[in-house]
Structure 1
Amino acid sequence: MSKATQRSGAVAAAARLDEIRGFFARLMAATAESDDPRFERAFASVKREAFLSPGPWQIQVTRDKYVATPSDDPAYLCQNVVVAHDPTRRINNGEPFLHARWIGAVAPQPGETVCQIGAGTGYYTAMLAALVAPGGTVTAFEIDDVLADTARRNLAPFKNAAVVSGDATRLPLPRSDVIYVNAGVVAPPAAWLQALNPQGRIILPWRPADDIALTLLIRRVAAGFTVQPIGQSWFIPCVGASDLAICRRPPSHSEAAAARSLWLVRERAPDADAVAIYDEVWFSATELAADFS
């Protein structure tokens, strides 16, 4: 094969991969259910393989089963699949469409401050950083030192993203417009709620019981904190926020789905509308006005 033929083949392969990346970004943006054109651009600008070990990669097909990609072609990553970081500990690069929905729900804006809890190797951190630019920042907490170091290296091109090694349930969080939680919590710590700016949003996987796994979108409004369940989500537990011992009254499935507001115990005692009660916070079925402060 001549060098010219090889070059032509390489150019064609690169064009094919660009087309696949572009279509994947379009799918992600559509899944986010946002009309904001920045979403597709942000998703397209972040190459997934840059945040993974060299391929071939292990694709999760069931909780304990992974299948290797045929090669290290990044096209295999441009689909809605979970990719292993460490299969023995079930640490993965999460499902793209789920994160697209989450990012669409919190709708990061230029200039906003984002706090991510559970950076992994930084893939979704990079997307958040792209969306809050210019002027915004992302502070990503990661309790696993190896993952934190990897994320820090991977995110070097993203000057508005910083990685903090440590436990986000013990360290102070920056004042934030968005808190993006990538580990399952029994209940959000009061400190996370207090870190939210007016009109701020928290999105998290709520795991009040082994068989309940709901995504909650929490907003800080003038009257308190609204709660919106937006589907199921299964994540590894959040160290420091997954101890069922803090629960005074666990919710049933129907009660968890009925949660509409969230209160700090020290500011308001649980009442008859409570659906779940914890040491620091409690969930209520009471709707709050959605107008922001």
Structure 2
Amino acid sequence: MSEIDSSSVVPDTDKTTLVPARGETSAGSAAAVRKTIRRAEREARRVGRPRIRPIRAVGTVAAVGALIAGVAFPAYAAIQSEGEALSVHDVATADAQSLVVASEVETPALDGSAYAATTPEEIAQAKAEKAAAERAKQQAAAAAEAAANAAAATATASVAAAAAPPVASGSFGAPLPGGYTITRSVGSGHEGTDMVIGAGTPIYAVASGTVVTAGWSGAYGNLVTFTATVDGSAVEVRNAHMSSIAVSPGQTVNAGDIIGYVGSTGRSTANHLHIEVRINGGLVDPMGVLPI
């Protein structure tokens, strides 16, 4: 093996020296030089590719992980929160819309065509029952109307039968048919006679004369006043509290004609006829001159 010129070797000023130790032989010096060169090469490789120590590697990974957690996680949480907020908003909007729609919904009224039956036979039976009920209702209404008409006809016949008796010329007739009750007469500020009888009873003119007033008159209610001449005396008769009036002002009436019907209008607490009689302008007691 040839000698290696030590002058051609690049010394490693940090780690090694190529100067052989004192007393080494030439062969030993060559071996030492080779050993030194191999060490220098290993050192050069080590310097070019540094080793990663385990503890330092773990620390680095932990630092990187913390950095990711500190930045990525809050950003993800913010995105999630925003998504949740938007979801709540969307849900609230949908609920509000559903409430508006619900307030506008109207429940359709069920008519007679809505049946619980499901088969054709059941539907036909339900329709027949409904038609029968409608016919019964119409028949009941017709019967009630017929009964009312019959009662009215009976009342009319009774009134006709209870017509005022004939009045002799020059005298007074009765203002009502029979069946009344006298409850009050002239006195203590009361200027007439109260004759209590059912509403609608006809009121007759007690003498032949001319209608002066026929209409509403305050406390009198519906009032008919007429004047007549009886036995050469001027007579004025007032008939008050009528339910309705059958004559008009200026109309001529005969004794016994219907001038109105008993009622409780004006200042009154029951159906009755309040009748007043004045002769030659002076108030008289009707019970003293009328056949009552």
Smaller-chain TM-score bracket? under 0.3
TM-score by length of 1: 0.25
Question: Larger Rg: 1 or 2?
Answer: 2
Higher helix share: 2
